Structure 1
Amino acid sequence: MAHGETGGAGPGPAVELRAVGRTYGRGAGEVVALRDLSVAFARGTFTAVMGPSGAGKSTFLHCAAGLDRPTSGTVRLGGTDLATLDEARLTMLRRERIGFVFQAYNLLNSLTVAENITLPLLLAGRTPDPARLAAVARRVGLADRLRHRPAQLSGGQQQRVAIARALITRPEVVFADEPTGALDSRTGRQVLGLLREVVERDGDTVVMVTHDPVAASYAQRVVFLADGAFAEAMDAPTPDRVAARMTRLEEW
């Protein structure tokens, strides 16, 4: 069992990193971003990934989501070893089997909400199912906003569009990178509650990188990184416990 593996439904973890290392540059300029990182995320779980600045959170996310290739070790999505895929197949995997939610929403202002949500399907050459679109829009509270454009929505509503876009393909895992970073605290809590809900009610898998102990407390489990390596994990996190652990890691 890998460090920080979470229990859950389904055969094997949704995502697993085994002895993953990632270095940038060479010689005197070499930077070690990840070192021998082993961690697994079970299906149907909500995990936050935290660590001090420079702990390797962004590099972890990029390697786990197939956006960057590790220098050593293996990354598996379900039963697929990402190292066996060429760039074209890796792009297809990201489009069809992974959902992404970013701090900056990354919506296209020229498209309606419905078009933004279904964009991953259109890019994959698939015809959107109106019933699926309606269900996902209802899920995120946007059923009456499908004809609007992003500029007509609040920040929280725009992030809900981004979450719906991440869910529309029924991905095996959703990676969220500081998803509430641009939102006020009340709106942020609503978005985090929605992410927790899609895990508990729909059995989705969410892995969220965050620096915010309050955001992390919405997850079922927190994995802490330090110096590019697995440091420890915490179940049933609270803001105070997470903040205390982060303080200790920063001192460490």
Structure 2
Amino acid sequence: MGPSGSGKSTLLHCAAGLDRPTSGQVLLSGTSLPGMSENRLTRLRRERVGFVFQAYNLLSALTVQDNIAMPLRLSGTALDPAWAEEVVRRVGMADRLHHRPAELSGGQQQRVAIARALITRPDLVMADEPTGALDTRSGEQVLSLLRDTVAALGQAVLMVTHDPVAATYAQRVLFLADGRLVDALEKPSPAAVAERMSRLGE
């Protein structure tokens, strides 16, 4: 969390190998990213990082099933039917596999995007304002789903959000200001997050 211009997107881009840091290290499960070639970084992102965005970025011509399987198709990896069934069940989209995105609500589309992010069993899921385009109820469902993937699957999730309530779904909140890490809260409450955010400009 942090105000606009604090470095949240830059941090996310560096963590995903989309941007190269001018100094320091970026390690993903012990793998150093900055020295990698673009081809290796692309392969690493495809196989070891899942992405969930505010805009769902689903392919409108494809069914839910095909959207979820797209990362595997791009990497030439075979689909594990048991894992696919587990992922689809967890996101609650088993009865929508043959629908297209236009036939789904915003919350359902974001569930598909989460399933797509999980299908490769990534080391890390990066969620950039994943509830920004959703109403309160749908947003809570998506946050609960992300929280459940951490608890049930041991999945690591790094989320950027402006919403103090969304931040409380996290185990730990990191605060950025002017490109620097300035504070952290463990198991935060909405009030504690809001109060700390109000002082970031000090």
- Range into which the TM-score falls when normalised by the shorter chain: over 0.9
Q: Does 1:164 align with 2:115?
A: yes
- Could you tell me which of 7, 10, 13 is aligned with 1:62? 13
Q: How many residues align?
A: 202
CA RMSD of the aligned region, Å?
Answer: 0.7
- Could you tell me which of 205, 209, 228 is aligned with 2:160? 209
Alpha-carbon distance, 1:57 to partner: 0.4
Instruction: Give the secondary structure class of the aligned counterpart of 1:249.
Output: coil
- Give the residue type in structure 2 aligned to 1:230: L
Provide the rounded CA distance (Å) in 2 between the counterparts of 1:134 and 1:202.
14
Provide the rounded CA distance (Å) in 2 between the counterparts of 1:248 and 1:200.
31
- Give the residue type in structure 1 aligned to 2:53: F
Alpha-carbon distance, 1:93 to partner: 0.1
TM-score with structure 1 setting the length: 0.79
Gaps of 5+ in 1: 1-49
In structure 2, what is the equivalent of residue 122 of structure 1?
A: 73
Q: Does 1:197 align with 2:148?
A: yes
Provide the rounded CA distance (Å) in 2 between the counterparts of 1:202 and 1:195.
10
Percentage identity across paired residues of the two chains: 69
Provide the rounded CA distance (Å) in 2 between the counterparts of 1:217 and 1:160.
20
Asked if 2 retains the 8 angstrom alpha-carbon contact of 1:114 and 1:133, the reply is no
- Give the residue type in structure 2 aligned to 1:65: A
Q: Does 1:184 align with 2:135?
A: yes
Provide the rounded CA distance (Å) in 1 between the counterparts of 2:168 and 2:134.
17
Provide the rounded CA distance (Å) in 2 between the counterparts of 1:235 and 1:73.
25
Alpha-carbon distance, 1:131 to partner: 2.1
- Deviation by residue 1:101-131 (Cα, 9 ceiling, x = unmatched): 0000000000000100010000001121222
- Deviation by residue 1:140-161 (Cα, 9 ceiling, x = unmatched): 0001111110001000000000
Q: Which has the higher helix share?
A: 2
- Deviation by residue 1:53-80 (Cα, 9 ceiling, x = unmatched): 1110010100011111111111010111
Alpha-carbon distance, 1:134 to partner: 1.3
Q: Which has the higher strand share?
A: 1
Instruction: Give the secondary structure class of the aligned counterpart of 2:197.
Output: helix
- Give the residue type in structure 2 aligned to 1:186: R
Provide the rounded CA distance (Å) in 2 between the counterparts of 1:74 and 1:221.
21
- Give the residue type in structure 2 aligned to 1:63: C
- Give the residue type in structure 2 aligned to 1:196: R
Provide the rounded CA distance (Å) in 2 between the counterparts of 1:127 and 1:197.
26
- Could you tell me which of 73, 86, 95 is aligned with 1:135? 86
Asked if 1 retains the 8 angstrom alpha-carbon contact of 2:161 and 2:167, the reply is yes
Provide the rounded CA distance (Å) in 1 between the counterparts of 2:43 and 2:104.
30
Instruction: Give the secondary structure class of the aligned counterpart of 2:200.
Output: helix
Alpha-carbon distance, 1:202 to partner: 1.0
In structure 1, what is the equivalent of residue 195 of structure 2?
A: 244
TM-score with structure 2 setting the length: 0.98
Instruction: Give the secondary structure class of the aligned counterpart of 1:232.
Output: strand
